[in-house]
Amino acid sequence: MSAGRAAVVTSLLAAAVGGVLLAATLEARGAVAPAAPPPAEKVLVVSVPRLVWQDVADQRPPALLAFLAESAYASTSVRTIGPRTELGDGYVTIGAGNAAKVDPAVAGRAVTATESVGSASGADLYRKTTGQAP
Protein backbone atom coordinates (compact mmCIF):
# COMPACT_ATOMS: atom_id res chain seq x y z
CA MET A 1 0.00 0.00 0.00
CA SER A 2 1.34 3.43 -0.91
CA ALA A 3 2.05 6.01 1.79
CA GLY A 4 -0.73 8.27 0.50
CA ARG A 5 -3.29 5.48 0.46
CA ALA A 6 -2.23 4.35 3.94
CA ALA A 7 -2.72 7.90 5.21
CA VAL A 8 -6.26 8.03 3.77
CA VAL A 9 -7.16 4.66 5.31
CA THR A 10 -5.70 5.72 8.65
CA SER A 11 -7.66 8.99 8.55
CA LEU A 12 -10.90 7.18 7.75
CA LEU A 13 -10.38 4.69 10.58
CA ALA A 14 -9.55 7.49 13.00
CA ALA A 15 -12.70 9.37 12.00
CA ALA A 16 -14.84 6.26 12.44
CA VAL A 17 -13.35 5.50 15.87
CA GLY A 18 -13.76 9.14 16.87
CA GLY A 19 -17.41 9.07 15.83
CA VAL A 20 -18.07 5.92 17.85
CA LEU A 21 -16.32 7.40 20.90
CA LEU A 22 -18.28 10.66 20.57
CA ALA A 23 -21.59 8.79 20.28
CA ALA A 24 -20.75 6.65 23.32
CA THR A 25 -19.77 9.73 25.33
CA LEU A 26 -22.96 11.58 24.41
CA GLU A 27 -25.09 8.55 25.23
CA ALA A 28 -23.36 8.14 28.61
CA ARG A 29 -24.09 11.80 29.40
CA GLY A 30 -27.75 11.41 28.49
CA ALA A 31 -27.42 13.56 25.37
CA VAL A 32 -29.13 11.03 23.16
CA ALA A 33 -31.19 12.42 20.33
CA PRO A 34 -34.79 13.03 21.37
CA ALA A 35 -37.48 10.65 20.23
CA ALA A 36 -39.07 11.47 16.90
CA PRO A 37 -42.13 13.70 17.16
CA PRO A 38 -45.49 12.02 16.69
CA PRO A 39 -46.76 11.95 13.12
CA ALA A 40 -48.87 14.90 12.03
CA GLU A 41 -52.59 14.24 12.18
CA LYS A 42 -53.45 17.18 9.95
CA VAL A 43 -51.69 19.06 7.20
CA LEU A 44 -52.58 22.55 6.08
CA VAL A 45 -51.83 23.43 2.47
CA VAL A 46 -51.51 27.17 1.96
CA SER A 47 -51.58 28.27 -1.63
CA VAL A 48 -50.63 31.74 -2.75
CA PRO A 49 -50.77 31.80 -6.55
CA ARG A 50 -47.83 33.50 -8.21
CA LEU A 51 -46.03 34.11 -4.89
CA VAL A 52 -42.34 33.22 -5.01
CA TRP A 53 -39.85 33.03 -2.12
CA GLN A 54 -38.07 36.13 -3.43
CA ASP A 55 -41.29 38.11 -2.83
CA VAL A 56 -41.27 36.95 0.80
CA ALA A 57 -37.59 37.85 1.17
CA ASP A 58 -38.14 41.31 -0.37
CA GLN A 59 -41.44 42.24 1.29
CA ARG A 60 -40.96 40.49 4.69
CA PRO A 61 -44.74 40.17 5.35
CA PRO A 62 -45.02 40.04 9.17
CA ALA A 63 -48.07 37.75 9.43
CA LEU A 64 -46.64 35.21 7.00
CA LEU A 65 -43.22 35.28 8.66
CA ALA A 66 -44.81 34.78 12.10
CA PHE A 67 -46.78 31.82 10.73
CA LEU A 68 -43.68 30.28 9.16
CA ALA A 69 -41.67 30.72 12.37
CA GLU A 70 -44.07 28.34 14.13
CA SER A 71 -44.47 25.88 11.25
CA ALA A 72 -42.78 23.14 9.33
CA TYR A 73 -43.07 24.12 5.69
CA ALA A 74 -41.90 23.29 2.21
CA SER A 75 -42.36 24.45 -1.34
CA THR A 76 -43.86 22.32 -4.00
CA SER A 77 -43.97 22.58 -7.72
CA VAL A 78 -46.75 20.60 -9.32
CA ARG A 79 -46.45 18.91 -12.66
CA THR A 80 -49.39 19.21 -14.95
CA ILE A 81 -50.24 17.76 -18.31
CA GLY A 82 -49.63 20.87 -20.39
CA PRO A 83 -46.45 22.89 -20.83
CA ARG A 84 -47.78 25.68 -18.59
CA THR A 85 -49.32 25.18 -15.16
CA GLU A 86 -52.63 27.00 -15.00
CA LEU A 87 -54.10 27.77 -11.58
CA GLY A 88 -56.88 25.17 -11.74
CA ASP A 89 -54.50 22.50 -13.08
CA GLY A 90 -52.17 23.08 -10.16
CA TYR A 91 -54.94 22.71 -7.56
CA VAL A 92 -56.41 19.57 -9.08
CA THR A 93 -52.94 18.03 -9.41
CA ILE A 94 -52.33 18.50 -5.67
CA GLY A 95 -55.58 16.66 -4.96
CA ALA A 96 -55.00 13.96 -7.57
CA GLY A 97 -51.41 13.23 -6.62
CA ASN A 98 -50.48 13.04 -10.28
CA ALA A 99 -50.44 15.23 -13.37
CA ALA A 100 -53.98 16.41 -14.11
CA LYS A 101 -55.83 18.95 -16.21
CA VAL A 102 -59.13 20.75 -15.71
CA ASP A 103 -61.50 22.67 -17.93
CA PRO A 104 -60.30 26.30 -17.73
CA ALA A 105 -63.91 27.49 -18.00
CA VAL A 106 -64.66 26.10 -14.53
CA ALA A 107 -61.19 25.99 -12.97
CA GLY A 108 -60.87 27.96 -9.80
CA ARG A 109 -64.58 28.09 -9.01
CA ALA A 110 -65.01 27.38 -5.34
CA VAL A 111 -68.28 28.03 -3.54
CA THR A 112 -70.07 26.40 -0.64
CA ALA A 113 -73.26 24.45 -1.25
CA THR A 114 -75.36 27.23 0.24
CA GLU A 115 -73.50 30.16 -1.31
CA SER A 116 -75.40 32.11 -3.96
CA VAL A 117 -73.91 32.61 -7.40
CA GLY A 118 -76.36 34.72 -9.31
CA SER A 119 -79.73 33.04 -8.85
CA ALA A 120 -78.25 29.57 -8.19
CA SER A 121 -76.69 28.03 -5.09
CA GLY A 122 -73.34 26.26 -5.03
CA ALA A 123 -75.25 22.97 -4.76
CA ASP A 124 -77.28 23.85 -7.88
CA LEU A 125 -74.11 24.64 -9.84
CA TYR A 126 -72.44 21.40 -8.73
CA ARG A 127 -75.50 19.38 -9.73
CA LYS A 128 -75.68 21.16 -13.10
CA THR A 129 -71.94 20.70 -13.80
CA THR A 130 -71.53 17.10 -12.64
CA GLY A 131 -75.03 15.62 -12.86
CA GLN A 132 -74.62 14.40 -9.28
CA ALA A 133 -76.00 15.48 -5.94
CA PRO A 134 -73.49 17.36 -3.80
State which H helix or E strand residue 90 sits in.
helix 87-96
Asked whether the beta carbons of 107 and 88 are under 8 A apart, the reply is yes
Strand ranges, E, within 20-73 = none
- What is the Cα gyration radius of the chain? 27
- As a whole number, mean pLDDT of residues 35-50 equals 80
Q: Is this prediction's pTM over 0.75?
A: no
Angle value at C-alpha 111, between 108 and 116, nearest 5 degrees: 130
pLDDT per residue over 65-99, tens digit each?
998 898 888 877 777 677 777 777 777 777 777 77
